[in-house]
Structure 1
Amino acid sequence: MANHELEFSTFPSGQFIDLMPIQYGRERCEPGHAFGPARRSHYLFHYVIGGRGTLMAESDTGENSNHQIVGGEGFLIFPDQVNTYVADLADPWEYVWVEFDGLRVKESLELAGLTRSAPIYRARSTELRDQMVDQMRFLVGHRDASALELVGHTFLFLDALLRSVELPAAPGRRQSDLHVQAAIEYVKQHYGEEIGVEDIARHAGLNRSYFGKVFKAATGRSPQQYLIGYRMTKAAELLKVTTLSVAEVGRAVGYPNQLHFSRAFKGVHGMSPRAWRQMSAGAQVPNS
């Protein structure tokens, strides 16, 4: 029987916002080795090199779900999600992991179809999967590399992960879909500015009234709800991964008035920005 092996490293520089590694490592587990129940402060992705095991984690509805995972697959753990994972008794797994976070992470993972209810990674492209694993191995094996080099390889890891599960584009998109997509891209690029629904509709090439109907039919939310929700998601991420003041975070997401920002944040997240930052702060612990 192989000995239990564990190696990991914590990223030493915390000044990156769009995407930042938190820690990364590799582990060959003993039969029945378990981690959890636990909660993470960031996203944590495991790729199973070989063997098998079980992930027990909360779904989107808060129910506990069990997932059987084998070599060549992976699993994603989400911030604040209660989870436990256990190595198989007969064929215990070996995996590499990367813990990461940043402004662009949540939306990118959701677009790739990775959610609390669907956390299992199964690649559609073995070539891109292998590229992803190469980047994970680089992080584990080059813990003394410069911060910029480590961040660069984290971007390459996430890019390969997302592209390896990407669904082919659906043919024959409707014209209204293109208007909505143009609006969403405009919000992504300009949410930090003092923009409103009129600006978004103008960029999408529609009058405000008709645009509101088309947008809600496509997304289930009004343009105003989407804009506020997007800004508050980015604000929450900034509060988590930076030391910016509440006022500075508000300005960064298009709210020059701190009081207006705090009201909007509480309306979405149910608590003040300061209280949310205190709640989400937590010490980093190794994977095992």
Structure 2
Amino acid sequence: MENSYVLQLKNRKFSEFYLCYCGYAKCESLHSFGPAVRPNYLIHLILDGHGRFQTGDATYELAAGQGFLIEPEVQTFYQADKNDPWTYLWVGFGGSRAGEYLRDIGLGNGSGTFRCGETGKLKNMLINILKKNTYTVENDFYRESFLYSFFAVLSGSIDGEKISREETENIYVREALEYIQNNYHYGIRVSDISDYVGISRGYLHTLFTKNLNQSPQEYLVNYRITRAEELLTVTDLSIEGVAQSCGYSDPLVFSKLFKKKTGKTPSLYRKSDWEETRDSLRRRQHRLDTL
């Protein structure tokens, strides 16, 4: 369990660099999250206490004044210390230039943990933006300016600690993942990915199977299907609209592939999710009625 304050955003006016969510939490002993992957970037800054962060084969024991970066689609796990659980803030963000901005300040592409000398200032900035919790045009711009200001302060106060990996290969994989995540809704193919990264399809295949245990084609399909599941759950888009939003011009091809991956047609998946949500709300209402 944790005592937290969270701002979750769905409506986005910006595409290059935008805030997804942010928050502040005082964790209880051994509170943990994961193993899990995220669809966006996520920075944690530790304000007090201790904990550990795991990514790949590496484990880091971290304390106040340090932070860690979670990159999209990378499995991680983190847990508060038993005797001195941490308090941290987090900022989740995305956009077509998010990876570029991270590299500009010395993070990303294998740099997963860092030291920060301005945690107090960043905490105050976060608390101020948490108060902008209503959806107005004014607050949209406040939140966007917060993200740039957050990076400005962070860039002048961090000291990166590199994760030990084969850096060149890691850069190729990260660039490929970033390209997929920013362009999956177009009809891109593996050849487009390898052309963007600047390596052959064969070498790209080797790097993906080595680092992700799946081929570039498998990753692209899985990413699109995951995004389709989200759209079927949180939007009223038609099946054809979901297909097109995920890079499939033919809804029949999309439906067959979706069923192959999930075991359900898109329509049945949406219906099942709605029924599960309805039943959950009924159970919650029943518990409230018995109080």
Same fold per superposition (TM over 0.5) = yes
Amino acid of the structure 2 residue aligned with 1:134: N
Residue 111 (structure 2) aligns with: 118
**Total equivalences in the alignment:** 203
Partner residue in 1 for 2:186: 246
| Structure 2: segments with no counterpart, 5+ residues | 161-167, 209-215, 232-291
Query: Per the alignment, do residues 261 and 32 of structure 1 end up closer, same or farther by CA in structure 2, a change over 3 Å counting?
Result: closer
Offset at 1:71?
Answer: 1.1
- Tell me the equivalent position of 1:216: none
Structure 1 residues 32, 271: CA separation in 2 closer, same or farther (over 3 Å shift)?
A: same
1:142 matched to which residue of 2? 132
- The residue aligned with 1:14 is 12
Q: Distance in 1 between matches of 2:76 and 2:193?
A: 31
* Structure 1 Cα separation of the partners of residues 110 and 66 of structure 2: 16
Separation of aligned partners in 1, 2:107 and 2:193: 30
> Contact between 1:23 and 1:99, CA under 8 Å: does it hold in 2?
yes
Tell me the alpha carbon deviations over residues 73-99 of structure 1, each in whole angstroms, 9 at most, x when there is no partner.
Answer: 111111111111111111111111111
| Cα deviation 1:91-148 (Å, max 9, x = unaligned) | 111111111111222123234332464311212xx3x554433332233332226212
Q: For 2:62 and 2:41, how far apart are their aligned partners in 1? A: 18
For 1:275, give the aligned amino acid: V
Counterpart residue identity of residue 236, structure 1: I
Q: CA RMSD in A?
A: 3.7
Contact 1:22 1:101 in 2 (8 A): yes
2:37 corresponds in structure 1 to: 39
Once the two structures are TM-superposed, the CA of residue 28 in structure 1 deviates from its matched residue by 0.8
What's the counterpart of residue 28 of structure 2?
30
Matches within 5 A, 1:156-195: 156-165=149-158
Shift in Å at residue 18 of structure 1? 1.4
CA distance in structure 1 between the partners assigned to 2:186 and 2:58 by the alignment: 36
CA distance 1:237–1:160, shift in 2 (3 Å): farther
Judging changes above 3 Å, is the alpha-carbon distance between structure 1 residues 141 and 283 closer, same or farther for their aligned structure 2 residues? farther
* 2:97 is the alignment partner of 1:97: no
Which residue does 1:51 correspond to in 2?
Answer: 49
Which structure shows the bigger proportion of residues in helix conformation?
2
Superposed counterparts of 1:237-276, under 5 Å = 237-239=181-183, 246=186, 261=192, 264=195, 267=201, 270-271=216-217, 275=221
> Aligned with 1:150: secondary structure?
helix
CA distance in 2, matches of 1:101, 1:45: 11
**Contact preservation (8 Å) 1:44, 1:97:** yes
Give the structure, 1 or 2, with the largest relative contact order (CA under 8 Å, sep 6 or more).
Answer: 1
- Give distance in 2, aligned partners of 1:73 and 1:149: 26
